[in-house]
Structure 1
Amino acid sequence: MAGAAPLRVVIVGAGAFGRNHLRVYRELEQAGRDVRLVGVVDANAAVAAEAAARFGVPGFDSVDACFAAVGGVDAASVCVPTVHHAVAAQPLLERGVDLLIEKPLAASLADADAILALAKKHNRIVQTGHLERFNPAVTAARGVLNRPMFFEAHRLSVFTPRSLDVDVVLDLMIHDLDIVLSFVGSPVREVRAVGLPVLSNKVDIANVRLEFENGCVANFTASRVSTERVRKLRFFQPHQYLSLDFARQDLLMIDVTAAAGMDPAALAKLAVAGAHPSEGLSLRKVPVTEGEPLRLEIESFLDAVRRRGRPVVSGDDGRAALALALEINGAIRGHAARAGL
């Protein structure tokens, strides 16, 4: 908004995610956007000081100290470990600060509900940090959706000590759960799941099958003990198959009717006549405008703050993904008990 005062932003949590948020806000500020980075908060004073020196911003070991020094704050990114989200969000919401809270929204539904209740009470915006929603390939896929009926999601990572306060469902799979929920737009009817701890004391690898009320089926595999990094989502819809690569930000579409100008009946006749199936297929890349998902997410959050509108990924969206993830964890525990694991 022309002439508007810059939004004053703080980052709470200066770990790996927090430093990425610091970088993006600083880049936006240096690019002349109407945002001003005014502080970074971390309970570990040494971590706060290191981040402060690196990004040229005041560092504090508490929200109280931050507010005492810098005064009013408009918005904040909450990047502390998931188990501390509700505790970190409370004093900020009570001071009238709009929040971008890293995914998952909270560690429990009770904590998520407490955050959302405070946001409603103080008329504050809460956006959940499901940054894959802002992946340009996901944006492109949303533009060609036509009643998808089957999904296959794979999200594999090598083991790191990061995010071990939560299991692999809340750490990695929740990205794909959120995207598929937003694509399908139908309640989940059935959950089947299996998972195992491998290198930590929480589930490190999981496989899940969901069936939705509209008949769509989705399979998810997530692992944080893989030898490779994979971030892919494939799905089928009438006459089309799409393959989305999050890391490469590309989207391939195979259309069984478009290029050949044939309907399924014509393709069947070709098959009977001995023609190769590929003669009735059209493979093309869907145009994708590349961009950094985190930057796009933060820009979207700041836009929601300025216009006082519902964010693209609302707190309610974050709660829905969390509720499904926790239901999956319950199904994993049930399977483990039945299997004697």
Structure 2
Amino acid sequence: MNNIPVNTIYRSGAPPQIKLPLRVAVIGCGSFAEQFHLPVLAGHDDIKLAALVDRDSKRLSRLATAYGVPIAVEDQSDLSVNQIDAAILATPPVHHRDGAIDLLQRGIHVLVEKPMALHLADAEAMCAAADDSGVVLAVGVYKRLLPVIRFVKQLLQEQRFGKPLRCTASWGGIGGYGSATLALMKKELAGGGVLMDLGPHLLDILTYWFGEDGRVLEYRDDARGGIEADCDGLLGFQLQGVSVEVDFHLSRARNLDSGFRVECETATLEFGVTERFEITVYPSVGASPYLIRPTDVDTGASWFEPFRAEIDDWLGAIVAGKRPELDGRSCLASLRLIEECYSKRQSLDYPWLIPDHQSPSATPVTAAHAAHSFVRATKAPRRVLITGAGGFIGSRASELLFASGNWQIRGQIRRPASASRLARLPIEMIQADLRSESDVARMVDGCDAVVHCAVGTDYGQNRSIYEVTVGGTKRLVDAAKRAGVQRFVHLSSIGVNDPDAHSVISHDTPMHSNKDDWYGYTKGLAERATLAAADGRFCPVILRPGCVYGPYGFTFVMNPLAALVQGRLVLADSSDLPSNTVYVDNLAHAICLALEGDEERICGEIAVISDEPNWTWGQYFGFFADALGVPLRTASAPTNDLRAKRIKPEHAKVLPALVSAEAKQFAKRLLRTDPLGTLPRLTMERFPASERWLRKLLKMDAPEIYRRPPSRASRDMVFTSRKGAISLENAKQALGYHSLVDPEQAMAVTLQWAYYAGVVPREKVNR
């Protein structure tokens, strides 16, 4: 630090006079900056939003207009010290080092989002640049300023509950944060996965509590050449001469009990990661649990307050010429631990994951994979585009095709948060929309084959679903033919068939034209468009899977198993009906066969896919009920009621919800709330017709009435089923298909995952 006093950032004399409001630029206007930084900066009396920088010109223009920012440029090099005094750097992590050093060397104060940098040496270089220029470098680890975090530190220092013994810290869930781009899912941009994303916050808190001299005792994650979606670690600290071990877990792939648990000699302290004020105290003996909180805190404060505190810490340091509490050097300890974790990495191996493709001799971890017919490539792999690669089926198909070594994977992603599983692998991901002609052309360019898994998911919005499921398929087929793609595997569904009209569902079962079942209707239209494009060079194959289940499955795993454990799952006249279930690995096997099959035998074929043997729903859910030790409820219902439930699923209730009393009340509150309501109000003032239309649609002039909604936990999930049973005859003849994993083995692995992912409680699993 060149002997600079620890509390001072200027080399000599008093700090220069800072003119307020401080002119601040936001560099990188992604989801986080839009949701948190911009609202706080725009409402800060001592700050002027002077400039925005982002490479997405549409986003840049929209935000600059909304917030009235005078300077909007696509590169930070276009900014000068005459225009700004300080900058918030919220670009992808790979740009933090160079971007921050450029600004710091020009005398511009910087607040850089976490992670501070990809490597400890880069972070140290950033700190040195700030020291040399005499400017403030802060890091966006705002959680360190939360009252509950500071209160725990005080309790530990005072040994209010005796010496600390151990700590457990967990954070994460399936889905994760909704980033606007794939930057956090690409190793070259993010540097790492969930450890590099949530780790800077969690490890910063731990080093704040227990000291900066922690060491990594053990670390494991699930990366397979890409970035981790799941990791576990064990750290060792020394606090006031006492050894403290910290067990931590971070995930984008399982629902963790996100929070902190600090065990001390006389009590255990617990609170969740979203908690700001209160701690639950569990005495070691005697007394019942109770709540404590720091004094003089406003428990009703907005969630914008932590970000305001972060900004005030930075601004106050700039004005006073001192180091902020969130100073760059204070974050070096947590970054050192992250780097040490990666250097000591061991593999997390689970039955639902694939063997490490980088090791040709790797042994699959389950018989499911041992039985798999994927073979090691003997020639240069071809490139296959998988649409909907972030989805349940698309992700698993990508994993297993990659493991075969026969294919280079290009995964199309629409929603970046869905890409966590895919990002574990060193494969190409492309953010693209099937509704865009240019995106579709970019997707298929250079591909030898396509596996089309994507489908419209804007439930309740039929036009939008049609545009993706039917229009998107047509665009994809046309672009694939122009690009010279030869094999096109289209994932359809047995939903294209009438659910009750046929006792056997085969490749030649007629498709229904019932528009009440919009999913089945649009999937049928997409299937027809694909087959109609067949010619001498373009070879389409249609797969109609039954009810797909397995780890990460939502419709037939997460939802019903959660309901089963709660006693809410009811099989209504379906216990003895065929389930037509297919384990996702068996479907992936069928996809591989469709890609590799002989063109003369396979072109234009339709194959219906299920497991062998075809269990009933009573057997399927009975397996889980027995394993979980809960009863399986059955009931009878009138046929008309069952059919109505089947063709009008839960998502059909979305549109009525938008005009419900609760939605109207929310809309009115939104319009009265700044900054969220500012732009809509200005729009209505400028265009009176829009106000009349909106008020008429939502009936916003009606008085607000609050009625307590019924508890969702108490609602039964009534499960109904089609009557027909799948025939595998054509799948066997055309593809040579047979199911590789038997249902009992597949469901055992699925149940193991459900426990691990937090879908069912730990105590419910008989192991």
Bin of the TM-score, shorter chain as denominator length = 0.7 to 0.9
Instruction: Say whether 1:223 aligns with 2:254.
Output: no
Find the partner of 1:75 among 86, 94, 100. 86
- Equivalent pair of 1:4/1:34 in contact (CA under 8 Å): no
- Equivalent pair of 2:172/2:256 in contact (CA under 8 Å): yes
Residue identity in the other structure for 1:301: W
Deviation per CA, 1:69-103, whole angstroms, max 9, x where unpaired? Answer: xx242221110010110121122112211111101
Instruction: Say whether 1:240 aligns with 2:267.
Output: yes
| Cα drift, residue 239 of structure 1 | 1.6
Residue identity in the other structure for 2:141: H
Find the partner of 2:167 among 151, 157, 165. 151
In structure 2, the residue corresponding to 1:144 is in which secondary structure?
helix
Find the partner of 1:304 among 301, 308, 317. 317
| Cα drift, residue 207 of structure 1 | 0.6
- Structure 2 distance, partners of 1:323, 1:141, is 23
| Cα drift, residue 297 of structure 1 | 1.1
Find the partner of 1:201 among 223, 226, 245. 226
- Structure 2 distance, partners of 1:202, 1:298, is 31
In structure 1, the residue corresponding to 2:270 is in which secondary structure?
strand
The alpha-carbon distance between structure 1 residues 310 and 109, as it changes in their structure 2 partners (threshold 3 A), is same
Residue 237 of structure 2 is matched in structure 1 by 212
- Equivalent pair of 2:96/2:112 in contact (CA under 8 Å): yes
C-alpha root-mean-square deviation of aligned residues, in Å?
2.7
- Indicate the structure with greater strand content: 1
- Structure 1 distance, partners of 2:132, 2:18, is 29
- Equivalent pair of 2:152/2:209 in contact (CA under 8 Å): no
- Structure 1 distance, partners of 2:219, 2:270, is 24
- Equivalent pair of 2:216/2:233 in contact (CA under 8 Å): no
- Structure 2 distance, partners of 1:320, 1:54, is 39
Residue 117 of structure 1 is matched in structure 2 by 128
| Cα drift, residue 234 of structure 1 | 1.1
Residue identity in the other structure for 2:33: G
Deviation per CA, 1:174-202, whole angstroms, max 9, x where unpaired? Answer: 2111101110125124420111038x931
Residue identity in the other structure for 1:195: D
| Cα drift, residue 230 of structure 1 | 4.8
- Equivalent pair of 1:105/1:112 in contact (CA under 8 Å): yes
Q: How many residues align?
A: 311
| Cα drift, residue 300 of structure 1 | 1.4
- Equivalent pair of 2:170/2:256 in contact (CA under 8 Å): no
Deviation per CA, 1:121-148, whole angstroms, max 9, x where unpaired? Answer: 1011111111211223213323322253
- Equivalent pair of 1:193/1:335 in contact (CA under 8 Å): no
Q: How does 1:1-341 map to 2 (within 5 A)?
A: 5-19=20-34, 20-28=36-44, 33-57=45-69, 58-67=71-80, 71-145=82-156, 146=159, 147-160=163-176, 162=179, 163-164=184-185, 165=190, 166-185=192-211, 187-197=213-223, 201-213=226-238, 214-226=242-254, 228=255, 230-254=257-281, 256=283, 277=285, 279-281=286-288, 283-287=290-294, 289-290=298-299, 291=301, 292-333=305-346
Structure 1: which 4+ aligned runs deviate by more than 4 Å? 333-338
Q: Compare relative contact order (CA 8 Å, sep 6+) and give the higher one, 1 or 2.
A: 1
Residue identity in the other structure for 1:11: V
TM-score (norm 2): 0.38
In structure 2, the residue corresponding to 1:36 is in which secondary structure?
strand
Deviation per CA, 1:255-278, whole angstroms, max 9, x where unpaired? Answer: 649xxxxxxxxxxxxxxxxxxx4x
| Cα drift, residue 281 of structure 1 | 4.8
- Structure 1 distance, partners of 2:203, 2:117, is 15
- Structure 2 distance, partners of 1:311, 1:233, is 26
- Equivalent pair of 2:153/2:208 in contact (CA under 8 Å): no
- Structure 1 distance, partners of 2:54, 2:101, is 15
| Cα drift, residue 159 of structure 1 | 2.7
- Structure 2 distance, partners of 1:304, 1:47, is 31
Q: Which moved more, 1:180-189 or 1:94-103?
A: 180-189
- Equivalent pair of 2:124/2:329 in contact (CA under 8 Å): no
Residue identity in the other structure for 2:27: V
- Structure 1 unaligned blocks of 5 or more: 258-276
In structure 2, the residue corresponding to 1:80 is in which secondary structure?
coil
- Equivalent pair of 1:155/1:173 in contact (CA under 8 Å): no
- Structure 2 distance, partners of 1:229, 1:76, is 35
Residue 263 of structure 1 is matched in structure 2 by none
- Structure 2 distance, partners of 1:97, 1:333, is 41
The alpha-carbon distance between structure 1 residues 14 and 125, as it changes in their structure 2 partners (threshold 3 A), is same
Residue identity in the other structure for 2:249: T
- Equivalent pair of 2:231/2:251 in contact (CA under 8 Å): yes
- Structure 2 unaligned blocks of 5 or more: 1-16, 350-355, 364-767
- Structure 1 distance, partners of 2:233, 2:18, is 50
The alpha-carbon distance between structure 1 residues 170 and 246, as it changes in their structure 2 partners (threshold 3 A), is same
- Structure 1 distance, partners of 2:216, 2:116, is 23
Residue 656 of structure 2 is matched in structure 1 by none
Residue identity in the other structure for 1:173: G
Q: Which has the larger radius of gyration?
A: 2
